[in-house]
A and B are shown apart, each in its own frame.
Chain A
Amino acid sequence: MTWSNGDGDAIQLGHGGGGRLSQQLIRELLLPALGTSDGVLHDAALLPAQPGRLAFTTDSYVVRPLIFPGGDIGRLAVLGSINDLAMAGAIPVALSLGLILEEGLPIATLNTVVASIQRAAVECGVAVVTGDTKVVERGKGDGLFINTSAVGRVDHNLCIHPPAVMAGDAVLVSGDLGRHGVAILAARDHLGFRTTLRSDLASLLPPVQALLAAGLELHCLRDLTRGGLASAIDEIATSAGWAIELQEPAIPVGAEVSGACQLLGLDPLAMANEGRMVVVLPQSQAEEALTLLRQVESSAAQIGTVLTAASPNNPWPVQLRSELGVLRPLDLGQGEQLPRIC
């Protein structure tokens, strides 16, 4: 469904003012696109009671450009929160949507993003049950910011979190690294390189559900986002209190990501991902898990092992073993990755 605005084709401050324009935006663009079933507008959504444990998560999304190869901010905002639920092994029940629009945002862009939110929600089997829209003055936002929160149901009895990690566990990654980061960098255009690479943005529900359905004893799951593999592994090791050793040659990086990273002097381990996760589970179950993960993404691989806690033999929380067999500490980078000449 598309919606056009009688007063122009861009968002105005009035669309957030609570008056007639706001009503029009909600009733004519958002509600129909998001398919609110009963059409009842109320301050709070009522959810059916769920048996057992609930999972609850929230995240805010900013990305430039809003629409990029392989996705857009809408799909990102839905899958981001759904993937956070998936990391607890939860199945989504309901989603909230907060939109902060910048004055001047083309209605056409909003239409595209909202349609994409709807498609992603359907794909994940969840509905947007409550939402909010605000408009900020031109120059006060990057076109469109989105916040989503998600509630999920937990059907298993595992505690999938860092304290469950044990020495000897296998560390897997669900696919090759860095596609999202490189696709975004190329789409921003200012560095002048071109690629057919698309973001890896994807729902992690199916692979996680497959692992759970196989009865695997998942110790920890962590989706890779802005800080890439490096920060995810560091967080797991640090909060679990064990050391992790990664085998550098085993870490899957595609030719294009590797080419772009070499060209710009960036580290593929620190590049952003939006559809990849780390799986930690007993080594004895690693092969079975990899077989399942490879049905979704053939590049899934075991990249390392959990060691005993940091000791003189394992001096760093996360260490990489190079091709030459020498250990070095994992580098977390300095936040924003900047292209280098040196």
Chain B
Amino acid sequence: MSSSSPEQLLAEIRHHCTQSWTLMEVCGGQTHALLRHGIDQLLPAEIHLIHGPGCPVCVTASERIDQALELAARPEVILCSFGDMLRVPGRQGRNLLAVRAEGGDVRVVYSPLDVLAVAQQHPDRLVVFLAVGFETTAPATALLARRALLAGVPNLTLLVCHVRVPPVLHAMLNAPQCQVQGLLAAGNVCAVMGQAEYNALAAEHRRPIVVTGFSAMELLQGILQAVDQLERGAHRVENGYRRAAAEQGNHAAQALIQQVFHPIDCQWRGLGWIPGGGLALREPFASLAVERRVAPPVSAPASPEQAQGCISGLVLQGLARPSACPHFRRPCTPEQPLGAPMVSSEGACAAYYRYQR
């Protein structure tokens, strides 16, 4: 299968597709790319794309965001994170941008590895890295943790919110109301983890999975391979992103994750508890956990998404489109998000808002 243009791929998809199929792209970056290129409008009407839970910024538990807000407001703390995290509201609707405006020292980093230097330059301050991300990002946090222990930087701490993709896919595919017939797996997660976990998912849930990239061509290629399998009744893992994702993934990156973290059950914003859905620091790296250095803040009341009737749980599982939510656009917007998928620029509600679907 090697077509040279998007038009050819679209023609092939039309040719292969004889009935209605529902595919889910797992990754929020893919959701945005699909809408940005308008691929959702070019596909034959039989193919329904639903949008998965693949945005680590959105799904970071609001309790963790509240912890970050509380820490960032302390005068002795420098809180570092990725730019995406600064707009994410906690349970009271406040975000890190607001804390920064009030004088909190909140810094945007491009790489977790840069946090080491921040900590070394400010030995008198407690430097907290709010570590979010899927398996793609976890190796960088793991490398930071290893370097920090080696270099002995006592004022560097981690607030770990890393999450794992396969457990949430498992939970979703297990749900009786699940409509997903084929999956486009997130190419960059697979570049790290390889296909093994996905082979197990495909076999157990009897759904085809195609490891998919992010360009228009790669997305169309992924869709074509998934439709082709569905039409043939196959349910294997295929790789449509060979350029970057080796079948075995990246051994060194997997080793880093395993040395530093172990899987835990964890809360996903909008989805609830996911067994094995998160990562926590293992010894001796657990000494870097910010919880070991400062008393945990008092927890706030229940999250607003439930209180206000946001349907983000359904959206994150692909059971409802964002535009079906009564709050979509009014009052829920990226500036005033009510729920997880509107929070990050990669969330499905934010994508529908931005591309006006």
> How close is A292's CB to chain B, nearest CB, in angstroms?
34
Q: How far is the CA of A315 from the CA of B356 in the complex (A)?
A: 10
- With A334-B335, A339-B83, A340-B82 known as contacts, the answer to whether A326 contacts B110 (CB < 8 A) is no
Residue of B35, B107, B108 with highest tally of chain A CB at under 10 A:
B108
Chain A residues whose C-beta falls within 8 Å of the C-beta of B83 in the assembled complex = 264-265, 338-341
- Check A192–B37 contact: CB distance below 8 A: no
Asked whether any CB of chain B lies closer than 8 Å to the CB of A156, the reply is no
Asked whether any CB of chain A lies closer than 8 Å to the CB of B86, the reply is yes
- Check A339–B56 contact: CB distance below 8 A: no
- Check A341–B137 contact: CB distance below 8 A: yes
Asked whether any CB of chain B lies closer than 8 Å to the CB of A191, the reply is yes
Q: How far is the CA of A329 from the CA of B108 in the complex (A)?
A: 29
- Residue ID in chain A nearest B7 by CB atoms: A324
- Residue ID in chain B nearest A316 by CB atoms: B356
- Check A328–B355 contact: CB distance below 8 A: yes
- Check B57–A342 contact: CB distance below 8 A: yes
Cβ contact of A324, chosen from B42, B87, B110, cutoff 8 A = B42
- Check A328–B35 contact: CB distance below 8 A: yes
Chain A residues whose C-beta falls within 8 Å of the C-beta of B108 in the assembled complex = 190-191, 338-339
Number of contacting residues on B, CB 8 A? 37
Per-residue interface assignment for chain A, residues 178 to 214, with 1 indicating a CB less than 8 Å from any chain B CB and 0 otherwise: 0000000000001111000000000000000000000
> How close is B345's CB to chain A, nearest CB, in angstroms?
7
- Residue ID in chain B nearest A320 by CB atoms: B36
Asked whether any CB of chain A lies closer than 8 Å to the CB of B308, the reply is no
Q: How far is the CA of A315 from the CA of B357 in the complex (A)?
A: 12
Cβ contact of B114, chosen from A192, A322, A327, A336, cutoff 8 A = A192
Q: How far is the CA of A327 from the CA of B29 in the complex (A)?
A: 19
Asked whether any CB of chain B lies closer than 8 Å to the CB of A43, the reply is no
Chain A residues whose C-beta falls within 8 Å of the C-beta of B41 in the assembled complex = 326
Asked whether any CB of chain B lies closer than 8 Å to the CB of A38, the reply is no
Within 8 A of A (CB), among B85-104: 86-87, 97
- Check A324–B39 contact: CB distance below 8 A: yes
Per-residue interface assignment for chain A, residues 306 to 329, with 1 indicating a CB less than 8 Å from any chain B CB and 0 otherwise: 000000000110000011111111
- Residue ID in chain A nearest B334 by CB atoms: A334
Asked whether any CB of chain B lies closer than 8 Å to the CB of A155, the reply is no
- With A334-B87, A342-B344 known as contacts, the answer to whether A322 contacts B110 (CB < 8 A) is no
Asked whether any CB of chain B lies closer than 8 Å to the CB of A331, the reply is yes
- With A324-B216, A342-B56 known as contacts, the answer to whether A264 contacts B110 (CB < 8 A) is yes
> How close is B192's CB to chain A, nearest CB, in angstroms?
14
Q: How far is the CA of A193 from the CA of B110 in the complex (A)?
A: 9
Chain A residues whose C-beta falls within 8 Å of the C-beta of B216 in the assembled complex = 323-324
- Residue ID in chain A nearest B133 by CB atoms: A341
- Check B38–A342 contact: CB distance below 8 A: no
Cβ contact of A190, chosen from B97, B107, B344, cutoff 8 A = B107
Q: How far is the CA of A326 from the CA of B356 in the complex (A)?
A: 13
Q: How far is the CA of A327 from the CA of B41 in the complex (A)?
A: 10
A-B CB pair tally, cutoff 8 Å = 79
Chain B residues whose C-beta falls within 8 Å of the C-beta of A190 in the assembled complex = 107-109
- Residue ID in chain A nearest B132 by CB atoms: A341
Chain A residues whose C-beta falls within 8 Å of the C-beta of B39 in the assembled complex = 324, 326
- Check B110–A192 contact: CB distance below 8 A: yes
- Residue ID in chain B nearest A266 by CB atoms: B83
Per-residue interface assignment for chain B, residues 342 to 354, with 1 indicating a CB less than 8 Å from any chain A CB and 0 otherwise: 0011100000001
Asked whether any CB of chain A lies closer than 8 Å to the CB of B167, the reply is no
Q: How far is the CA of A120 from the CA of B173 in the complex (A)?
A: 65
- With A322-B36, A340-B345 known as contacts, the answer to whether A329 contacts B56 (CB < 8 A) is no
- With A334-B334, A339-B110, A342-B345 known as contacts, the answer to whether A328 contacts B84 (CB < 8 A) is no
Q: How far is the CA of A339 from the CA of B110 in the complex (A)?
A: 7
Chain B residues whose C-beta falls within 8 Å of the C-beta of A342 in the assembled complex = 28-29, 55-57, 84, 344-346
Q: How far is the CA of A342 from the CA of B29 in the complex (A)?
A: 6
Chain A residues whose C-beta falls within 8 Å of the C-beta of B346 in the assembled complex = 340, 342
Asked whether any CB of chain A lies closer than 8 Å to the CB of B263, the reply is no
Chain B residues whose C-beta falls within 8 Å of the C-beta of A336 in the assembled complex = 97
> How close is B125's CB to chain A, nearest CB, in angstroms?
16
Asked whether any CB of chain A lies closer than 8 Å to the CB of B111, the reply is yes
Within 8 A of A (CB), among B47-61: 55-57
Asked whether any CB of chain A lies closer than 8 Å to the CB of B249, the reply is no
Chain A residues whose C-beta falls within 8 Å of the C-beta of B109 in the assembled complex = 190-191
- Check B354–A331 contact: CB distance below 8 A: yes
Q: A326-B42, A342-B28 are in contact. List 11 more A-B contacts (CB 8 A).
A: A322-B37, A323-B6, A323-B37, A324-B39, A326-B38, A326-B41, A327-B38, A328-B36, A329-B355, A338-B84, A342-B84
What are 10 contact pairs spanning A and B, CB under 8 A? A191-B109, A192-B110, A192-B114, A322-B38, A328-B35, A328-B36, A334-B335, A338-B83, A342-B55, A342-B57
Smallest CB-CB A-B distances: 9 pairs: A326-B38, A338-B83, A342-B346, A339-B83, A341-B82, A191-B110, A340-B84, A329-B356, A324-B37
